[in-house]
Amino acid sequence: MSFASDRGLRSGRLHRPDSPHPVPCVVMCAGFGSTMDRLFPWAEAYAGAGLAALVFDYGSFGRSEGEPRQIVDLDRQRADIKAAVAWARAAEGIAAGRIVLWGNSLGGAHAVTVAADDPQIAAVVAQIPFNGFPRRVEGRSTAQTLRLLAAIVGDALRGRLGLSARYIPLVAAPGELAITNAAEAEDHINALSGGDTGWRNLVAPRGILQMMRYHPAPAAARLTVPLLVCLATDDAETPVELGRRLADRAPRGTLKLYPGTHFSFYTDARTRQAVAADQIAFLHDVLAPAEQEHRHPGHA
């Protein structure tokens, strides 16, 4: 399926449970440079638990329209999320008043930010969410940091001048020029690139400049709905001390910690199953009153 956003069509897939009644829908927001295919296991888990799940590719990524390719633009990504929510609310078999925003990494920041301005969202799940960069990234030397900053600024200048992007890898081994460095880089790349996903291990680094000014914690403070934040204890990319602030600032925030790294949520099936089970339990609790009201209108 596809839906219209402000700059073209966005490709998506709706995972539906077998239900004769309208069901809640979890709109799933991917991370930096990621595509919807990596969210299929999560979407399938939700559908198996009776919740619809809509996954989609941001503009210029995966199967969605948008040129130039592999460009992370925060405003446009949030516009894509709002368009996805609008599509879900109008879809047959979806309970329009029970839309959940779910986001992974950068998508977690987007989910919090978009939900803060949409009072009709029923709940938010932010998984290893971005909430600003750590002062120092473990395993990255000062020289490597300066090299990455030079790539970011250089690509941003090329964008301002209307020149083609100068791409770098999204993830690579420690010591290599990339947005993210990890000892388990090869496993992560294999997990992301398996099958016909449309994912490429290349991204225009200019998007990092926008992220340097992006802090969703103030938006979390404005949330009126329940928020679940799921973090990895050894996450170097979205550290616990930063992600915890989202749960702390949210009036109805809940925090859950899991052993592992940022990449465990992608590559470790056992971690994914444990996290998904907790998220599903959280949403069943949150959505239960609305479900009862839907099934028995007018009853106390």
- pLDDT of 7 reads 86
Measured distance CA(142)–CA(200) in Å, rounded: 27
C-alpha torsion sign, points 27, 28, 33, 39: negative
Task: Quote the pLDDT of residue 142.
Answer: 86
What pLDDT, on the 0 to 100 scale, is given for residue 135? 78
- Contact between residue 283 and residue 125 where contact means Cβ atoms under 8 Å apart: yes
Three-state SS for 45?
Answer: helix
Domains of the chain: 2-134+214-295 (3.40.50.1820)
Say how far apart CA 75 and CA 255 lie, in whole Å. Answer: 27
Return all residues near 229 (Cβ < 8 A) that are at least 6 apart. 108, 126, 129, 243, 244, 246, 247, 253, 254, 255, 256
Which tens digits make up the pLDDT trace of 26-81?
999 999 999 999 899 999 999 999 999 999 999 999 999 999 999 999 999 999 99
Residue with tokens 């949030």: 78
Separation CA 105–CA 47 (nearest Å): 22
Cross-strand partners of 9: 4
Position 144, amino acid = Q
Q: Give the model's pLDDT for residue 203.
A: 96
Low-confidence ranges of the chain (pLDDT < 50): 293, 296, 298-300
How far is 300 from 298, CA to CA, in rounded Å?
7
Edge-to-edge strand list for the sheet holding 227-232: 2-5, 8-15, 52-56, 23-29, 94-104, 121-127, 227-232, 253-258
Q: Phi and psi for 168 in degrees, rounded to 5? A: -135, 165
What is residue 296's predicted lDDT score, i.e. its pLDDT? 47
Alpha-carbon torsion 196, 185, 264, 131, what sign?
negative
Closest among 223, 221, 241 to 231, alpha carbons compared: 241
pLDDT at residue 134, as a whole number: 85
C-alpha dihedral, 101 to 263 to 277 to 127, nearest 10°: -30
Angle between helices 40-48 and 269-295 in degrees, nearest 10: 40
Q: Which residue from 99, 77, 73 is spatially nearest to 86, judged by alpha carbons? A: 99
- From 283, 173, 170, 289, select the one nearest 230 (Cα to Cα): 283
Q: Check residue 207 and give its pLDDT.
A: 95
